[in-house]
Every structure is written in C-alpha cells, then in structure tokens.
C-alpha cells in the first residue's frame, strides 16, 4: 500500500512496509504542476501490465514497480484492486502512477483539489 500526501508544491507517494521491497522504491516525489489528475479505477488491475523492469508481478497477489507498456513507463503498487487510484502525470519519468491507498476517495479528492490543469 502507498501513502499519498502533498508537501508544499509536491505530490509525495510513500510505499509502506514490504511494498518498498517489491516496488524497488520507497517514495516518489512529483511536482504538482506535472499532475494532471487522479481517478479511482478498481478494474485497472485486470488490464495488461506490459514489460516489468524492474518490479514484481504475481497475478492476483501484487503488482509493484516499473512497467513499460505502449511506449509509456507506469509505476504500480497494488495488491487490492478495489483500492487502486490512477494518477495521471505529464512531463515526468512515469506517465501514470497506479497505487493502492487506504482511502481512494479521499486521495482522489486531495489530488484533484491541488493539481494544476
């Protein structure tokens, strides 16, 4: 699971527990100016993931780390798809961050209230 917070002008995503190991990252920091928005999308876990590099993918258990699909780099940290939030980015290393959070609705509301469009 991940914790998503806003610190000044940055969106911070912190991986919790063993997810740091599976995702091979402990946190990501993204300028709010590069955040296009966020949505709740529990069905995204059923979509094709692409090529894992580096990361972990055990179907039905966890998807974590960096994946390449259709020319885009996507970061995943999801165990429970019902809590998946998709964060769309621009001008960043990743095109999207797909993370599991404790409260998807509150996370999306936080991001949407602060992102620049």
Could you state, in chain order, the average pLDDT of each consecutive group of 10 residues for the chain (117 residues)? 95 94 92 96 87 86 93 95 96 97 97 81
The span from the CA of 21 to the CA of 97, in Å, is 17
Task: Compute CA distances 22 → 27, 53, 77, 103, whole Å.
Answer: 12, 12, 8, 21
Measured at the CA of 74, the angle between CA 106 and CA 1, to 5 degrees, comes to: 40
pTM here is 0.94
Question: Rounded to an integer, what is the distance from CA 80 to the centroid of its chain?
Answer: 13
| pLDDT for residue 116 | 65
| pLDDT for residue 51 | 84
Cis peptide before 54 (omega within 30 of 0): yes
| pLDDT for residue 59 | 85
DSSP annotation of 16 reads: -
Residue ranges per domain, the chain? Answer: 2-114
The span from the CA of 45 to the CA of 67, in Å, is 13
The span from the CA of 47 to the CA of 19, in Å, is 21
């Amino acid at each position: 699971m991940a914790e998503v917070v806003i610190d000044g002008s940055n969106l911070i995503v912190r991986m919790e527990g063993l997810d740091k190991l599976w995702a091979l990252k402990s946190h990501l920091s993204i300028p709010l100016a590069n955040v296009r928005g966020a949505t709740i999308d529990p069905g995204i876990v059923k979509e094709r993931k692409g090529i894992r590099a580096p990361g972990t993918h055990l179907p039905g258990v966890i998807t974590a780390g960096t994946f390449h699909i259709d020319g885009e780099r996507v970061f995943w940290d999801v165990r429970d798809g019902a809590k998946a939030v998709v964060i769309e980015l621009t001008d960043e290393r990743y095109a999207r961050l797909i993370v599991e959070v404790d409260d998807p609705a509150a996370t999306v509301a936080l991001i949407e209230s602060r992102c620049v469009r």
